[in-house]
Amino acid sequence: MRRLAATKVLFGAFALSFGAAVPTITQASGPGSGGGQADLVATIAANPTEVQPGTPVVWTVSVSNAGTGAAAGFDVAFPGADGLGATGAGWTCASVPTTRSGPARTSCHSPGLIAGASSAITIAKTALGTAATYSISATVDAGNVVAESNELNNTATGSYVVPINGPYDFVPHHTVSGGVDAILPSETVTFTTSVDNVGLYPGFTTVTVTDTLPVGFTFVSWTATVVSWVATVGVVSASPGSVSCTPSGEPATGITVTCAGVPNSSGASTTSGSVSIVAQPPVADGLVDYVATDSVTVDADNAFAESDETNNSATGTRSVSNMLPDLAVKMTTTPSTVDPGGVINHQITLANIGTRDAVFAQLRFNSLAGSWIVGGGSGVTCGVIIQTRSGATMGCGVANLAAGTSVTFPLQLRASGLVGTTTTSGNVYVVGAREVPPNADNIASTTATVDTAGAIDLTASVTTSPVVAIGQPTSFAISVTNSGIGVAAATTVDDTLPDGFTFTSGATNVGACTASGQVVSCPIGATAPGRTQILSIFAAAPMAAGTYNDTAVVDPSDAVAESDETNNGANATITVSGAFADLTTSIVGPATIASNGKPVYAVTVTNVGNASADTSSFTVYVRGFDRIDSTVVPAGWTCTTTRTKGAGNYVSCTGGPLGIGANVTVQIVAAGAYGRGAWPVTSAVDPANVIQELSETNNGATFSTTVS
């Protein structure tokens, strides 16, 4: 009574009907109570004793007084804090959480039992899903409040069993190899079946799978994949040798393949098993298409009693065809010899020698000798797909080429300046569909010979920034173009930098540039007709203002014979000026603040250059604080605050102009420091490099505040 007084106030008593009310007493038991001594006896039992996973099980704790004297108030305790679910007539039950004195438990209090009386408590739970024996113990008068004639019969243990075997429900999963295209009689198809047990019991077993092949199909072979399952639920491992498949019947009526020992998978399995049947369709009489249906059944012999016997079958279909297109191509070329830049005429015949129309037949040229002029006609459309260094790649398409028909059309190319034999090749196929397996008639090629060298003419041009600040980096872009019809061999480009400019770097696709004094030499590779090569030379401007001239010359040593040697040079003018703005930034703020303090930062941008900055922008990152409380922005400037997840906050400001020596200051109030330690505040002026400045190295500043 003393131990559960407070609990009884919270939970009260739960009433269940167990027959007549249990007689109770309130005085303490002992030799002087009723002339004898109490003897409390506990029993516990589960109902049912064999339980399927996830179904209810009811525990009944019975307490009887087998002594000769009455027992005053006492407690019954059993593990698990399910007190709110434990009920019994005259009992008050409550949950007792885990404490230093013991684990969580349920404690039920009885006001007492007279000699020969008994009372019971019930609690319902859900059976666990793993196959095993589960038990629970109950102890009456665990605190020895009642003096008894026998203290050894106060604890009882009950149990229930989740068995290895339970209700199964087998469902087959059936797949058919291949895509949406029909297969030919010469090809095979694979029917694969795996079995899932979706029944209440998630255990392992092996079942029989029967696969009825489509009528006319011939059995070829079978394979099985069998793997291991989790052993904690009573599952065993199996090997591929445990599965055996046997075909029976005739193709004319349908062959049935019976596979014994196929394992099921379940929710508890780590992987799955399957059995695959390989079959081949028949050669049909005539040119026909049809859909073949394969049927599979699991546990066809009803060896297992299942919770659902209606979901044991599945089907799969496969399209079979004896009708497919078959494309063939032929090409001829005239003339066989051509001068550089001359026209090569191709005559192309595209035929469909198959038994079905070729919808969207396409001829793709893998290599073209020269540049494309024109092609197509007779229902054929041609066009360039991509231009590469070696020529053009193009394609010709026919919307529909009926079985047994052909089209002939011309294709004209212009020969390049390369001397030698050139090849044009093409491959035909049906877009998005199958045809009879490709063979030699799907590919054709022709050759033509270019017999003389074509004229070469290299030209150069130079571009650069019109104005650059003193001492700042700049670049010179040099373009080399071959406007002739022959291929220019590899050579060099010499660029003479203006006096005072300092070479920093430069490279081409064939090597790095080198400098000797003001002359920078850069190697370039061979240049095909009509091609342009572009290279960049990077340099630093001098400290003296003025107008400077840069000169570039391609093939300065005349290593390449050209039709025109007078257009190999080019010039560019660049102005070096000291009249540029130069923006700097600084931050002033507190060195330390208390936790949750609100530091105030003054961010100043100053133009220390020689020209006005018409517009300006700067960004301030406040990384260590949760938010920006406020900003004070001067007239003519606009600031916006942005919060970023995990990266603090930043303030972006735009405005201007800033004259020579002018400055602007924005005040920022931050709040909510992330934690103790030093937190940086950084600012960057003109972060997008919109303004050309005397110096780009002084545009940032950093300040640190320590949160104590």
For residues 212 and 174, is the Cβ–Cβ distance under 8 A?
no
CATH assignment of 458-577? 2.60.40.10
Higher pLDDT, 424 or 554: 554
Would the pLDDT of 685 be above 90?
A: yes
Give CA separation, 314 vs 74, 173, 392, 476, in Å: 63, 7, 53, 72
User: Long-range contact list for 236-243, CB < 8 A, 24+ apart?
Assistant: 236/204, 238/206, 238/263, 238/273, 242/206, 243/206, 243/275
- pLDDT for 367 equals 57
Q: Give the pLDDT confidence score for residue 93 in this predicted structure.
A: 87
Provide the pLDDT for residue 597. 87
Neighbours of 689 (CB within 10 A): 9
368, pLDDT greater than 70: no
Query: How is residue 97 written in tokens?
Result: 């959480």
Q: Report how far residue 120's alpha carbon sits from residue 78's, in angstroms, rounded to the nearest whole number.
A: 13
Residue-wise pLDDT for 253-267, tens only, equals 999 999 998 887 765
Q: Which of 83-92, 175-184, 454-463: highest mean pLDDT?
A: 454-463
Look at residue 24 and tell me whether its pLDDT is greater than 50: no
| Candidate from 440-449, 466-475, 487-496 with smallest mean pLDDT | 440-449
Q: Which pLDDT does position 287 carry in this prediction?
A: 59
pLDDT of residue 84: 54
Q: How far apart are CA 54 and CA 235, in angstroms?
A: 19
pLDDT tens, position by position, 585-612: 999 999 999 888 899 999 999 999 888 8
pLDDT at 420 over 80: no
Q: Which of 110-119, 548-557, 671-680 has the lowest mean pLDDT?
A: 671-680
Dist CA 492 CA 302 (whole Å)? 86
Average pLDDT, the chain: 83
How far separated are the first and last CA of the chain, in Å rounded? 55
Give the residue from 348, 361, 362, 357 showing the smallest Cα distance to 405.
357
Average pLDDT over residues 163-180: 79
| R_g (Cα) of the chain, nearest Å | 46
Query: 342 or 444, which is more confident?
Result: 444
- pLDDT, residue 54, reads 67
**pLDDT above 80 (res 26):** no
Residues of CATH 2.60.40.680 domain(s) within the chain?
170-321
Task: Give pLDDT, residue 424.
Answer: 82
What is the average pLDDT across 606-620?
87
pLDDT of residue 18: 29
Mean pLDDT for 531-541 is 94
DSSP 314-344: EEEEEEEES----EEEEEEEE-SEE-TT-EE
Q: What is the pLDDT of residue 454?
A: 67
The hierarchical CATH code for the domain 327-450 is 2.60.40.1530
Output the pLDDT for position 174: 93
d(CA 36, CA 117): 14
Residue 285: per-residue pLDDT: 52
- pLDDT confidence of residue 9: 27
Query: To 5 degrees, how large is the angle CA 92–CA 93–CA 96?
Result: 140
Given a cut of 90, whether residue 363 has pLDDT beyond it is no
Give the list of residues 6+ apart from residue 6 with CB closer than 8 angstroms, or none: none
Q: What is the mean pLDDT of residues 170-194?
A: 87
Give the confidence band of 8 by pLDDT, cuts at 50, 70, 90: very low
Q: Tell me which DSSP letter residue 404 carries.
A: T
The mean pLDDT value for 275-281 works out to 94
Q: What is the DSSP letter of 287?
A: S
Q: Which residues pair with 588 in a beta bridge?
A: 602
Question: What is the pLDDT, as a whole number, of residue 236?
Answer: 41
Q: Which two tokens stand for residue 345?
A: 């005429």
Query: How many residues are present in the chain?
Result: 708
* Among candidate residues 86, 163, 161, 98, the one with its CA nearest the CA of residue 125: 86
The pLDDT value recorded for residue 418 is: 64
Strands 467-469 and 569-577: parallel
The segment(s) of the chain belonging to CATH 2.60.40.10 are 5-162, 458-577, 583-707
Architecture of the domain whose range is 5-162: Sandwich (2.60)
Give mean pLDDT, residues 202-229: 83
Contacts (Cβ under 8 Å, ≥6 apart) of 245: 222, 224, 257, 258, 259, 260, 275, 277
201 Cβ contact partners less than 8 Å away, ≥ 6 residues apart? 52, 53, 165, 166, 167, 168
User: Does the structure show a pLDDT above 90 at 339?
Assistant: no
- pLDDT band for position 696 (cuts 50, 70, 90): confident
Give how far the C-alpha of residue 674 lies from the chain's centroid of Cα atoms, to the nearest Å: 33
Which of 491-505, 539-553, 562-576, 621-635 has the least mean pLDDT?
621-635
Closest CA to 607 of 702, 701, 694, 697: 694
- Distance, in Å, from the CA atom of 121 to the CA atom of 118, rounded to the nearest integer, reads 11
For residue range 66-89, list pLDDT tens digits in order: 999 999 999 998 887 665 578 889
Tokens 């209810």 correspond to: 56
CATH class of 170-321: mainly beta
Torsion from C-alpha of 603, 605, 608, 614, nearest 10 degrees: -170
**pLDDT recorded at residue 355:** 80
Confidence at residue 83, expressed as pLDDT on a 0 to 100 scale? 53
Q: Three-state DSSP class for 7?
A: helix
CA dihedral sign, ordered 376, 381, 387, 388: negative
In this prediction, residue 284 has a pLDDT band, given cuts at 50, 70 and 90, of low
User: Are 163 and 203 in contact, with CB atoms under 8 Å apart?
Assistant: no
Q: And the tokens for 124?
A: 């319902």
Cross-sheet strand order for the sheet of 118-126 = 40-47, 56-65, 118-126
Query: How many other CB atoms are there within 10 angstroms of residue 340's CB atom?
Result: 22
Q: What is the CATH number of domain 583-707?
A: 2.60.40.10
